[in-house]
Amino acid sequence: GLIEENKLHTFHIPYFTPSPAEVIAEVEKEGSFALNAVEVSEISWGACSNSPSHSDNAWHMASCLRSVAEPLLVEQFGEVLIDELFENFRKILSHRMSVEDNKFVNLSVSLTRRD
């Protein structure tokens, strides 16, 4: 393949998406802050673009992720396949956007430091 198997198996980006209940439990367990409010909001994947085109929206989203992930990917795998990788990712995103209304879920937390 295009990627050495060892490099693929040793690549890891930690990613954790806690539920509101998990965040509340951790804040309460830690004890340094009073929890004022927890609010969950959803944002459509296409919200960053004015275009009705799934392809355009997917391009914007893939470009945004590329700006964050590219340095990590290049360090591990080299530059050779980056363009192809993100073009394939854009196609996957475009397809997903065409079959369902995908959303990001944001969790906003208001805290007050305890004395």
Residue 113: partners with Cβ closer than 8 Å, 6 or more residues away: 32, 33
CATH code 1.10.3470 for 5-113: no
pLDDT digits (tens, 9 = 90+) for 14-52: 888 899 999 999 999 999 999 999 999 998 887 777 777
The count of C-alpha atoms lying within 13 angstroms of the C-alpha of 81, restricted to the half-sphere facing its C-beta, is 12
Domain residues of the chain, as ranges? 5-113
pLDDT digits (tens, 9 = 90+) for 45-95: 877 777 778 888 889 889 999 999 999 999 999 898 899 999 999 999 999
| pLDDT the model gives residue 10 | 92
Max Cα–Cα distance, the chain, nearest Å: 57
CB 78, CB 8: distance < 8 Å? no
